[in-house]
Structure 1
Amino acid sequence: MDKNSVTGLVLITIIIGVFMWWSKPTKEQQEAQQRYQDSIQQVELVKQQTAIELKKKKDAENAIPVADSSVADSVIQKQLEGKFGVFANAVSGEQKFFTLENNKVKITLTNHGAKVYSVEIKDFKTHDGKPLILFDGDQNEFGFSFFHNNRILNTNDLYFEAGTNSSSSQDFKLSVGNDQYLAFNYTLPQDSYMLDFSIVHNDIDAVIQSNRGGFDLNWKMDVPAQEKGRKFEITYSGLFFKYDQDEVDDLLGRSGDETFRTPIKWIAYKDHFFSSILIAKENFASGSASVNIYKEEDNSPLISTNTSQLVIPYAGGAHTEKSFQFYFGPNKYKILKKYKDLDLKEIIPLGWGIFGWVNKIIVIPIFNWLEGSIASYGLIILILTLIIKLGLFPLTFKSYMSTAKMKVLKPQIDEINKKIPAEKSMERQKATMALYQKAGVSPLGGCLPMLLQMPILFAMFRFFPNSIELRQESFLWANDLSSYDAIVSWSANIPIISQYYGNHISLFTLLMGITNIIYTRINQEMTQSTNQMPGMKTMMYLMPVMFLVFFNNYASGLSYYYFISTLITILQTVLIRRFVDEEAILAKLNANQKKPKKKSGFQARIEEMARQQQKAQTQQRKKKK
């Protein structure tokens, strides 16, 4: 890596650092933001208190009369019918559970709300070995609102009649007489994470009404923590949604809300490695959604709470059926890619632009190919790294040769610097560039190959933390390649250190840092005879130290990849150095300087324009005299 390459890296680091420092809010802005947050909290407290009071009032209004020995059953029934109309018999009942099961998932349904009560993903466990439950019980609220008897009812609060149960299907019906009913039908195909769901209205338009051409579907779900590394489980959790005929958008790793003014196809409540996705066959007309991400300091068993209110278009009719699907399963690219028309694979953040394409076109296919014949994911990462490094070897070789050319020309550059004093920096630079041009050396020759390798570097930065294939897969001392590999840990909270570094030491990160320091040393030896910016040597050694802090909490699979990638680069550099004759390079460059340089057409035109301009200036000076 030559001076220009190093300069490029340093400048990128400085730009990022300066931008972060410049964009950091001032003390006044922080105080204003704190006042704003305090005011929001006050408003939220008022809203919560108001909601509690309204709920109490609603509960009082909807209270079911308690049977009394002095009150006849017929009187109680009339009171219920006065409040709930034809749904009086559905406001109370006995909760029953029904199971749909295949080789992938175990889904429990309940007649209370005719909804999914809990979901267990069979092939996976939590980080502490417990069954992986996406949600359970009151963590999932699901139903749609409608008007009846001058009040708003929600199917989530009503008891349905259950039909015949099987391992693959279950029907629930809310009958109001005379073959008038509302039905929820569930079907679980074999070997699938998809649950088919439909809502059937049969001759019930006179009973349930909506004032805007559709019904509000309300879905609220609490997402429990499943992983060891809570920090990055939060980072990759959030809310995803796809607009009809448009791209997928998200609220990832942050709390927020979104209003849908145009139709959307699906909405996903995403955890780091698992998702619950509701898909509409005919789109949701509009709606809104929000996500509340719980921070590390909240010490909550939940990662997030997701809420959505979606409008299901409804034009009425004697018999209508709306079809949906639930996806309850892993965020695995190979699985989600099968649903091509839905773009479900986009919930996996593989990187934007070229970085995402590198993962989709190169990295994932190679990884899946290796996965089919190799059991150890540590070996898969090693072989994947070897394949990538071999593919990039021509660029590595070209970068080394450019650095070697700059190195052997250093004595001639020193001669230029002796002849031209330091105060004439522009003249020095012009003479140096002229030397490079004669010798056929490009100062950017070492930087360009390095830049071409950057998409691979950043693609891997996204690939490993989001690969469920690495989840709970062990290799050497790392018991989970999708999380950090702590060899030393402590419980004490150390200010600043705990916040940025964590309460542990990751060994693969430590090895990665050591190899980066060695590689930096090798580069320093290669460029020590060239001009260096003041303080550049210290800066280059500071970067591996920064990596030690930054990657300590990241997936050990990523640190392992960077470790062996840097190690292979060191070995390549040592081998190239043994077989490259610097004297032969210098002889070739000296021969190039003696050859007459043919000017390009563009360069000739530029020089001709310069001569014409100089001639015109000379004539003007003569006229003035």
Structure 2
Amino acid sequence: MDRNTFTGLFLIMIVLAGSFYFFKPSEAEMKSIQEKHRTDSLEKTGVVAPTPAATIAPIPVVDSAALKGPFGGNISGTVQTSLLENEKLKLTFSNKGGKILSVQVKGHNTYNGKPVILFDGDQNKFGLNLNIGGKMVNTNDLYFTATQNAGSISMRANYAADKYIEYVYDLKPNSSQVGLNMNLNGLNQIIQNNTITLNWEATLLEQEKSSKKEQEHAAPYYKYVDKNPDHLGVAKDVKEDLKEGKIQWFSFKQQFFSAALIPKDAFEKGDLEVKVLTEPGKIKWYGANMSMPFNQLASQSYGMTFYFGTNKFDTLKEQGFELEKQVDMGYWPLKYINRFIVLPVFKFLESFGWNYGLIILLLTIMLKVAMSPLTYKSYLSMAKMRILKPEMDEIKAKVGEDNPTLLQQEYLKLYKQVGVNPLGGCLPMLLQLPFVMAFFFFFPNLFELRGESFLWMKDLSTYDDFIKFGFNIPLIGDHLSLMCVLMTISTLIYTYFNNQISGATGQMKYIGYIMPIIFLGVLNSYPSGLNYYYFLANMLTFAQQFLIKTMVDDEKIHRTLQENKTKPAEEKKKSRFSAKLEDYMRQQQQTAAQQKKNK
């Protein structure tokens, strides 16, 4: 090769290299070209090309063997989202899995003023597990073709021209329910086994002020056919197999919102799982796997209904299937007190449109008036015991403390002579206790108080952090609730006056002062509405006792007790307690005599 030829070839190489460098497509143009090639390929397989507004996911690397397998044309694609919304819900759908990607409950905000989003993101899964040719296919991993109409959206993944999976979602106006029909067309003899599995996983997001309390009230619920709803534990990670019968529905419940799935035909069996999350902004992870029958002889269709909305008792009751029993009304008999007494009265007062602080006040007054006969009997019994105390002290000084059995016998003789029931002051209080405890469950689960303010309390459904420490104090937390402090002070004052009435001494006198301090630590993070009720109950009790005190004459009671001593035994009306008292005294005397004989 001569010099001229070599020089010419060298110059040509330089020109070619320069042209490649200066005229190569930009990075954006390269992406556009790649996208066009990929789109053309996807259109041939039946997958809709993305719109400019679509969310474009990274192009996955697909094994060529997978492309030839079941739903090979649907294992790769571009993520696209669609919307359905009405007055109550805003639903975001993804063609990846053909699922509901996000749920917003309209008309409600989180404690920080943001929209209430029950779940959102790719970590949420929904689909069918299908055995096709010995290979498990999860439809959550397939790319569906979306077709949207007014109020409904269809998601389809093609196995062949006349063989496909189709999800049809339907949202009616002003409804919290979303209909779902899952159609498996022409897949009989292709799907193996006589059952298929529905898988739903969701990470529930934080909505309330106290994530700790929200976690305590969040749990997966489920209901067997012809049985009461039940739930998994709330304090730790739990997985439970549901094998005791067909499953009518299950729900991913938070404190004040729920996402429930109700099949037209009950699930054959299944399992539920819950994991407590520690990531900021997240409450719990829920997972469900439900078994459904599959007929190999024909195409299959499964009808279902989602409920996305509030845990308001009446709203859940409107859905049917006892969904309202997700609202924790307490244990027996507390739940019956709350459901059939407290809640109807609360709803009646609510119908007047008053502020909820006023409603709680009126509810407390009505309860105290209804319980006033028991309060009166309790006060009267404690007054009798207080009046008898000097005589009991004389007996104690005479008998001494070395013989407690004999001392108790002498006390019982005195009670019998004057006609006093020593438990008379306790029994009325015990009868009132279920109502006091019922409110402990009622207010923390009452949706109506959510976001409602009264006085300085911005939200009656959570604590009022009147003082913020910025650090945690053992048993107290990082704040101090003013209403809880007022409740504690009123309880201490109530204890003081109660000791004056009953004449309590010794350890019993001081135990009453310890309990309110303990409750300060326990109730400091509970709803301000609950502490407000307990505060009002104490104040109204003060008023009741003041009125009763003006009606009760201690000197008259003392005369009556002394007169009872002089009455013949046959004139005294023997109560059931008196009969038991006599039997007890007789047994004690026989025991003492036997012990003396043995000595």
TM bucket (normalised to shorter chain) is 0.7 to 0.9
Distance 1:303 1:143 in 2: 23
| Paired position in structure 2 for 1:420 | 399
Whether 1:155 and 2:130 are equivalent positions in the alignment is no
Would the aligned equivalents of 1:85 and 1:149 in 2 still touch at CA under 8 Å?
no
Q: Deviations over 1:35-65 (max 9, x none)?
A: xxxxxxxxxxxxxxxxxxxxxxxxxxxxxxx
| Paired position in structure 2 for 1:378 | 357
1:337-352 superposed matches below 5 A: 337-340=317-320, 342-352=321-331
- 1:68 shift after superposition: 13
Whether 1:245 and 2:238 are equivalent positions in the alignment is no
Q: Deviations over 1:54-86 (max 9, x none)?
A: xxxxxxxxxxxx9999xx979x98985764435
Distance 1:409 1:505 in 2: 43
% of aligned pairs identical? 37
- 1:142 shift after superposition: 0.3
Whether 1:226 and 2:201 are equivalent positions in the alignment is no
Would the aligned equivalents of 1:509 and 1:552 in 2 still touch at CA under 8 Å?
yes
Distance 1:136 1:190 in 2: 23
Q: Secondary structure at the match of 2:122?
A: helix
Distance 1:110 1:440 in 2: 78
Would the aligned equivalents of 2:74 and 2:158 in 1 still touch at CA under 8 Å?
no
Distance 2:407 2:71 in 1: 91
| Paired position in structure 2 for 1:475 | 454
2:129 pairs with one of 131, 145, 159: 145
What amino acid does structure 2 have at the position aligned with 1:571? A
2:437 pairs with one of 437, 450, 458: 458
What amino acid does structure 1 have at the position aligned with 2:487? M
What amino acid does structure 2 have at the position aligned with 1:260? L
Q: Deviations over 1:279-315 (max 9, x none)?
A: 1221111222211112xxx353210111121111222
Whether 1:396 and 2:378 are equivalent positions in the alignment is no
Whether 1:552 and 2:524 are equivalent positions in the alignment is yes
- 1:416 shift after superposition: 2.4
Worse-superposed segment, 146-155 or 320-329: 146-155
CA 1:540–1:463 in structure 2 vs 1: closer, same or farther (change >3 Å)? same
Distance 2:256 2:214 in 1: 8
| Paired position in structure 1 for 2:246 | 263
Whether 1:200 and 2:186 are equivalent positions in the alignment is no
Structure 1: runs of 5 or more not aligned: 1-65
CA 1:546–1:79 in structure 2 vs 1: closer, same or farther (change >3 Å)? closer
CA 1:314–1:551 in structure 2 vs 1: closer, same or farther (change >3 Å)? same
Q: Deviations over 1:225-264 (max 9, x none)?
A: 1111112111111221112222222124222110122421
Distance 1:319 1:233 in 2: 43
1:21-100 superposed matches below 5 A: 83-85=67-69, 87-100=71-84
Q: Deviations over 1:469-499 (max 9, x none)?
A: 1111111111111111011102234xxx2x4
- 1:120 shift after superposition: 0.5
2:556 pairs with one of 580, 584, 597: 584
1:464-503 superposed matches below 5 A: 464-493=443-472, 497=473, 499-503=474-478
Q: Deviations over 1:327-371 (max 9, x none)?
A: 11111111112244x221121111011011111011111111111
| Paired position in structure 2 for 1:570 | 542
CA 1:182–1:419 in structure 2 vs 1: closer, same or farther (change >3 Å)? same
Would the aligned equivalents of 1:84 and 1:148 in 2 still touch at CA under 8 Å?
no
Distance 1:144 1:350 in 2: 35
1:303-318 superposed matches below 5 A: 303-318=283-298
Q: Secondary structure at the match of 1:93?
A: coil
Q: Secondary structure at the match of 2:129?
A: strand
Distance 2:330 2:563 in 1: 47
1:432 pairs with one of 394, 411, 416: 411
| Paired position in structure 2 for 1:17 | none
CA 1:600–1:503 in structure 2 vs 1: closer, same or farther (change >3 Å)? closer
TM-score when normalising by structure 2: 0.83
1:356-371 superposed matches below 5 A: 356-371=335-350
1:595 pairs with one of 567, 582, 598: 567
Q: Secondary structure at the match of 1:427?
A: helix
1:513 pairs with one of 488, 491, 494: 488
Q: Deviations over 1:432-465 (max 9, x none)?
A: 2122122221111011011111111111000111
- 1:222 shift after superposition: 0.5
Whether 1:443 and 2:415 are equivalent positions in the alignment is no
Pick the structure with greater CA Rg. 2
Distance 1:280 1:329 in 2: 17
CA 1:67–1:299 in structure 2 vs 1: closer, same or farther (change >3 Å)? closer
TM-score when normalising by structure 1: 0.80
Whether 1:186 and 2:169 are equivalent positions in the alignment is yes
Q: Deviations over 1:180-203 (max 9, x none)?
A: 332111112233211111211222
Would the aligned equivalents of 2:189 and 2:297 in 1 still touch at CA under 8 Å?
no
What amino acid does structure 2 have at the position aligned with 1:569? T
Number of positions where the alignment pairs a residue of Structure 1 with one of Structure 2? 533
- 1:428 shift after superposition: 2.3
Whether 1:216 and 2:206 are equivalent positions in the alignment is no
What amino acid does structure 2 have at the position aligned with 1:558? L
| Paired position in structure 2 for 1:30 | none
Distance 1:492 1:414 in 2: 51
| Paired position in structure 1 for 2:48 | none
What amino acid does structure 1 have at the position aligned with 2:272? A
What amino acid does structure 1 have at the position aligned with 2:301? E
Would the aligned equivalents of 2:463 and 2:481 in 1 still touch at CA under 8 Å?
yes
Distance 1:290 1:171 in 2: 29
Distance 1:210 1:287 in 2: 19
